[in-house]
Structure 1
Amino acid sequence: MNDALLIRIADALDRLAPPPAACADLTTSPAYMWDGHAIQAVDAFTPVDYDLLTGIDAQKSALLENSRRLAAGHAAHDVLLWGARGTGKSAAVASVVGRLQREGQDIALLQCATDALASLPALFALLRGTDRPFILFLDDLGFDEGVGDARTLRSLLQGGTAARPAHVRLYVTSNRRHIVPRHLSEQDDPINPRDVVDDRMALSDRFGLSLGFHALDQDAYVAIVSGYAAKLGVAFDPLEAIQWSTQRGSRSGRVAWQYVVELAGRHGLTV
């Protein structure tokens, strides 16, 4: 095969290959998405109003203060938000960013798919091209028995050669307090059970701020419904709201919002 033919084949392959994805302007949008290959702008960023998040005052206050430090260029922690499903972990992250942006702070949210962890060094390389503070958001993170990805994330958080830039902090939500599952059998390790425990806790220990979100009691749940309903200007029956949560087997901010969506639909409203 001669050189001319090889060049023609290479040119044909170049024409067939898709062009590299363009990186969004990192200075203009309130939020972004990283799919493992490119950063896409999210201009329609409409988080829940910070003041509407009820029953998690201590958690959202700590999160707001940490994020305000990051926006100001001061020392700030990576954050782990852990706890029961539907208790406002993800909503708190977005609402804090929205609150700071309304205050005039130049900070952005960048959500990364949890199956794209291996691409984070490439993302960090792109983010080093800007001084804008970023909250890198990993939602609903959890690892199964294998801990390879967990160790990769540990090195990116602290001590690795491809660690995150100084103006970027990771905010991670998980249903597990230590992200990696733990078992009673850890104590049966024949060599050193403490080593097993330490290895499984090493990732969660990398987060300087760890915030727990817990299941709501009935009064807190009804208070959340009341806040959402007042925002939409609709009346509600507390007993019906409680029945709604009972049917779903959960009292949470998510269930409260779903009930209010039902109310809005009955009244012909949009949310």
Structure 2
Amino acid sequence: MHKIDWNHCLAAVWRARTGQLREIRRIDPVRLEQLLGVERQKAALCLNTERFLAGKPANNALLWGSRGTGKSSLIKALLQRYRDEGLRMIEVDKDDLVDLPEIVDSIREQPQHFIIFCDDLSFEEGENSYKPLKSALEGSLELPPENVLIYASSNRRHLLPERMQDNDQARVHNTEIHFGDAIEEKISLSDRFGLWLSFYPINQTEYLAIVDHYFADWQGDRSRLHADAIRFAQGRGVRSGRVARQFFNSCS
């Protein structure tokens, strides 16, 4: 495996075809203060990350919910905030999770603290590529290294598809709900993330506040700007920080 100088490299991406980590030189410059409407999630994730960097117990994190609500941006923004405190980040595609043990082995002895970033993480019926992820989250015979956490974003709360027939096996015994094997398997994966952060669609007031943030220096008619922003969001069927940014890119 190619050796990376983590004293100077802030982030890398795993390339399964070559079996190597490739340094990321053009890092997304997104910063925490640019992310609006997610103050609760931001505070919780920062606190968890600060505990991690301080050598205190910290949790793997699953950020789940509606598309375009800032899940991935929030994770990426941590790098700009905590890079000088030794935080490093490695992005691993869902399809490459089978290589996770090798990736973790390559960094477990490093002095820096690493977040393994899995973006848009979800699995379909019959897939078993999440099994290495289970081991990395809680370990097997060998405990996970103390300098590695996994932060993942997903549109699914339990990462795996949930079907109505899965509930047919659920039963109540002594007032306690016992799920069937299908649901237990799905919940067992997401349960390994100790920190769950949920993201929901924003309302129109919050959406326009984000638009105003992007158009802080706008000298034109702001009422007309808001009307155009609302029509732009209606054309996409969703209000989100991502849509506000796309509107800014199309008009500024």
| TM-score with structure 1 setting the length | 0.83
Cα deviations by residue, 1:136-183 (Å, 9 ceiling, x for unpaired)? 100001000025222331122113246542100000100000101111
Q: CA deviation at 1:97?
A: 2.1
Which of 135, 140, 161 does residue 160 from structure 1 map onto?
140
Aligned to 1:170: 150
Which of 33, 42, 52 does residue 24 from structure 2 map onto?
42
How far apart are the structure 2 equivalents of 1:73 and 1:187?
41
- Regions of 4+ moved over 6 Å: none
Aligned to 1:131: 111
1:240 matched to 2:220? The reply is: no
What letter matches 1:202 in structure 2? S
Aligned to 1:224: 210
How far apart are the structure 2 equivalents of 1:234 and 1:124?
47
1:180 matched to 2:160? The reply is: yes
Which of 12, 17, 22 does residue 32 from structure 1 map onto?
12
Aligned to 1:210: 196
Structure with more of its chain in helix, by fraction: 1
Aligned-pair identity in percent equals 35
CA radius of gyration, larger in: 1
Contact 1:178 1:203 in 2 (8 A): yes
Contact 1:97 1:108 in 2 (8 A): yes
Q: CA deviation at 1:74?
A: 1.8
Structure with more of its chain in strand, by fraction: 2
How far apart are the structure 1 equivalents of 2:226 and 2:209?
9
Aligned to 2:69: 87
Q: CA deviation at 1:241?
A: 0.6
How far apart are the structure 2 equivalents of 1:163 and 1:218?
46
In structure 2, the gaps of 5 or more residues are: 172-177
Aligned to 2:174: none
Contact 2:97 2:130 in 1 (8 A): no
Contact 1:135 1:171 in 2 (8 A): yes
How far apart are the structure 1 equivalents of 2:130 and 2:93?
15
| TM-score with structure 2 setting the length | 0.89
What letter matches 1:224 in structure 2? I
Aligned alpha-carbon RMSD (Å): 1.9
How far apart are the structure 2 equivalents of 1:163 and 1:262?
49
Question: How many equivalent residue pairs?
Answer: 240
Q: CA deviation at 1:190?
A: 9.6
